[in-house]
Amino acid sequence: GPVLGKLQVRLLYLPKVAGQVRATVREVRGVRKMDLIGANDLCVEISLENGGKASDLGPPQKTAVKNGAGSSATWDETLSIMYSNESETKPLVLVVRVLDKDTVSSDICGTCAIPLLGLLQSTFASRSEKSARLEQNSFSLDKGGEVTLDVDFILNSNIFVEQREEENKQILELKRMWNKLDRD
């Protein structure tokens, strides 16, 4: 029969990987004022999502609150989240939220979602390196303003084993201290 068109297929294989996603939050600029009285008390929260669902890799990580910051603030603070794609099949996204922290609740000043598939691919493309960094570091927020951060992926297939070992050491130390208190 006649040729009706062309189909192009691209296959991507990403082997199982574990490591840390590190985001060094540099600054936030130009966010809207959220409170009627007073200036924004800004902080930045990061989390990993997979296919629109929050990852089960722990709670979101947050920077320190910059009280009275207004529409802009600077941090130079690094936040880390451990990651493994062992049971995940959808693209990984780093979700960044800029919050106006209030006593009772927090208002969302803006959000952006940063796809990390290219970052994971870069880690494997450079076989000699154990890490990769996103080229872009300034991202627009959905409600106006922008956030500047460096995003790295540090490859470490033993990261969860190391974390478990560290937790076990801490538990043993707590038990030792408890036993000592019991004797005294």
What digits encode the pLDDT tens for the residues 69-94? 999 999 999 999 888 776 666 778 89
pLDDT of residue 65: 96
- CA torsion, ordered 150, 151, 154, 155, to nearest 10 deg: -150
The reported pTM is 0.76
Residue 158: what pLDDT? 66
12-16 — which CB contacts under 8 Å span 24+ positions?
12/117, 12/121, 14/85, 14/117, 14/120, 14/121, 14/124, 15/124, 16/84, 16/85, 16/86
Taking the C-alpha atoms of residue 50 and residue 65, their distance in angstroms, rounded to an integer, is 27
Q: Which of 96-100, 111-115, 129-133, 144-148 has the lowest mean pLDDT?
A: 129-133
**What pLDDT does 87 receive?**
66
CB 150 within 8 A of CB 134: yes
pLDDT score of 59 more than 60: yes
Q: pLDDT tens digit string along 10-53?
A: 766 666 777 889 999 999 999 998 877 889 999 999 998 876 66
> What is the C-alpha separation between 46 and 4, in angstroms, rounded?
46
Two structure tokens written together for 43: 């902080």
The length of the chain in residues reads 184
Q: Quickly state the pLDDT bin for 180 (edges 50, 70, 90).
A: confident
